[in-house]
Amino acid sequence: MQMADRATDPSPVPVTILIVEDEALVRLVLSEALRDAGMRVVEAATAEEAEAALRAGLQVDLVFTDVRMPGSYDGLELARRIKRERADLPILVTSGHLDAESVRPIAVFLPKPYVLDDVLSTISSLLKRSASL
Q: In this predicted model, what pLDDT tens digit does every residue of 80-118 receive, in sequence order?
A: 999 999 999 999 999 988 878 888 889 999 999 999 999
Architecture field, domain 13-114: 3-Layer(aba) Sandwich (3.40)
- 94 vs 71: CA distance, rounded Å: 17
> pTM of the prediction?
0.89
Q: In this predicted model, what pLDDT tens digit does every residue of 13-42 receive, in sequence order?
A: 899 999 999 999 999 999 999 999 999 999
* Sheet containing 62-66, strands listed edge to edge, beginning at the edge strand earlier in sequence: 40-44, 16-20, 62-66, 91-95, 108-111
Torsion of CA 40, 28, 66, 17, to 10 degrees: 0
Pairing mode of beta strands 40-44, 62-66: unpaired
CB atoms within 10 A of CB 111: 14
